[in-house]
Each structure stands twice: as structure tokens, then as C-alpha cells.
Structure 1
Amino acid sequence: MPLMPKRVKYRKSQRGVARGKTTRKKYHGPIRGFAQRGNYVAYGDYGLQALEGGWLSAECIEAGRITMTRFVSGEGRYYIRVFPHKPITAIPAETRMGKGKGEPEYWAAVVRPGQILFEIGGLPEAAARDCLARVAYKMPFKCRFVARRPSV
């Protein structure tokens, strides 16, 4: 079952910065800036880092979780570093203009470039690389394999 918050203050949220070309003077692009927090491997030994920004749906997070669970299968441990807090609304197809904002369709996590999505520990590097490559295949944007930095 996909992740979602137990309770929210508001059922619907605004989209954030513009997600495409707009008619206004400034073009902001999909998601501005790099991840300020959550951009290093903190819990496991290896991680999957997003190289692009966007919305990561709860279904994609669940698909990655299932892939990691099947691959790890009792040897190591995995960590999910993102949670879908944002409700994404949609209006049904072939609906006339007006009549307000649509109903929430799914939940998504807002991901900035550089954010760690998944971590894995207790496996050798080759196995962890293979596991996270399978998870990266299911993500909607480019990702890379990163290792924990040595602590000083």
C-alpha cells in the first residue's frame, strides 16, 4: 500500500513554482535549487541520489521499496529517506473549464537535485550497486549511486 500522511491540515496544496514555460516574465523551471538537507548518506553504507528535481509519487517509492526488499531479503538493511507529503490534484478528462480545483489523485514527495532517496547497509558494494541500479530504473528521474563519506 502506498505511503501517505495520516492527517493533513489542508486536503489540497498549491503546486509550487511553475512546472513549465509560463506567459510571465520569469521562467522558474521545474524545481529550483539543490537539496539543502538530506543530501548525504546518513544511515546506511550506500545511497541513491537524485540528479534531477521533480515529484516522486508514492507508487514509485513503493515500487523501489519492493525491489529493495526482494533483493536484500534478510542480509542487509534498507532505509527510505523520502516521504510523500504533497497531495497532487487532477480534474477528470473531458471536463469543462471552471468548477474549482480537482480532487487529490495521489501523494508525492518533492525531490530536489542532490537529495538521497534510498539507502542500503550491510551488503558488499557490488551487491548494493546492483540493488540500487534496479531501484533507479523505477525512478522517474536520473539517479546515481553514492557511498558514505568517511567521517573525520
Structure 2
Amino acid sequence: MACELWAVLLAEGNRARHQLAPRKVEYIKRHKGVIPIPTGGSTKGTTLAYGDWGIRIKGPGVRFTAKQLQTAEDVIRRKIKIVKGAKAYLRVFPDIPVCVKGNEARMGKGKGSFEFWATRVPTGRVIFEIGGAPIREELARDALRLAADKLPSTMEFITKNTPPRLGNMLIYPEKADVPTPPMIQRTVEVPPAVGA
């Protein structure tokens, strides 16, 4: 059944296929869902893993479409192509099908038809990274700023030394306990009281 739906979607043309679309899905229609909030204390995906520079979400979590991510990636690649061996890494993938019903449609009659692919991204998640070759910070900042302008959320520029983020908080590593020198004890002789 799922294979038949997928074949129908492929036959519809470019409405179903996108460069960032997953190759195979079991069910083409899914629930809308909510943007995850990292309440358990996990900071996974909030630091760089592959590159030297990157951007991550600073504002509230948001849903990115495949077209938005592809446009931002194209901007980055166009900007860094002057550096031989430079690569752009996309850290999220649009694997959630979004279905839309037509305007002024009456209630009922089932779920709407497939429209586009999307992904839900929480606050603090890294979206893009740049690496693969030594890149100047000015060039990386410029490329990632242009990409952030294409995405519907507030982004922040991060490096290898940037601490992980848990929601709106930055998690700084605990400083090592530096042993304090022992107290120097001095004995003070008190002169005898006068008239005693």
C-alpha cells in the first residue's frame, strides 16, 4: 500500500520529489506533531561535529521546509566554492511529510494531500557546518550569515570552542578544582597588660 502511494506521488511530478526528500517512507501522511523541547538535559546536536564553523538556532524552535534548507545550502556552497576542498554539512533532514487541504474546504472528507517535506528543529540545534579545508573566519561568517537570512529563525554563529546550549542556557564546563595553598598560621605574642 505504501509503495503504491509513493508511486502515485512520484507520478505527480515535481510536487512530490525534492532533492532533500527521503528515498522511501512507509506512510506518506503523518500527524502534524510539535517541536521538541529538550527538557531532559540533553545537549546532543548543539555543538560542532564535522566542521570548524557553524550556525545554530538561538530563537524558539521552528519547522524548516526542504526548500528553505536547500536554498540556504546553495548559498553556502556558492560562497565557499573559492576554497578548494571546503564542504557544507547539513545537520538536519526534512523527513516529515506536510499535508495541506485547500482553502474554504468543508470539514471532514479525510486528510489533505501531500504538499512538501519539513523537519522540526528545537532551540540550540546546529543547522549548518562548514569545514573540510581551512577557511578564514570572515568568509565563514559571511557565508553562514547569508544562509541564516534564508531561514525563518534567529541564528547564532558558533565555533569549536562554543559551549553547548540547553534551550536558552549555555552550558559552561565546570572548572577544575585548583587546590588552595594552606593557610599560614602566625603566632602573635600579646604583651602583658599594664598593671597586672
TM bucket, shorter chain = 0.7 to 0.9
Q: Which residue of 2 aligns with 1:14?
A: 31
Residue 94 of structure 1 deviates from its aligned partner by 2.1
Contiguous gaps of at least 5 residues in structure 1: 18-29
- Conserved in 2, the CA contact under 8 Å of 1:3 and 1:83? yes
- Conserved in 2, the CA contact under 8 Å of 1:90 and 1:104? yes
TM-score normalized with structure 1 length: 0.84
Secondary structure of 2:158 counterpart: strand
2:51 is aligned, of 44, 57, 62, to 44
**Residues 44-123 of structure 1 aligned to structure 2 (within 5 Å):** 44-51=51-58, 52-75=60-83, 76-121=86-131, 122-123=134-135
Q: Which has the larger radius of gyration?
A: 2
Contiguous gaps of at least 5 residues in structure 2: 1-17, 163-196
Residue 124 of structure 1 deviates from its aligned partner by 0.7
Residue 39 of structure 1 deviates from its aligned partner by 1.2
Residue correspondences, number:
138
Amino acid aligned to 1:137? D
Residue 32 of structure 1 deviates from its aligned partner by 2.7
Q: Distance in 2 between matches of 1:141 and 1:47?
A: 15
Secondary structure of 1:88 counterpart: strand
Residue 2 of structure 1 deviates from its aligned partner by 3.6
Q: Distance in 1 between matches of 2:158 and 2:37?
A: 22
Larger relative contact order, structure 1 or 2 (CA cutoff 8 Å, min sep 6): 1
Residue 149 of structure 1 deviates from its aligned partner by 2.6
Residue 9 of structure 1 deviates from its aligned partner by 1.3
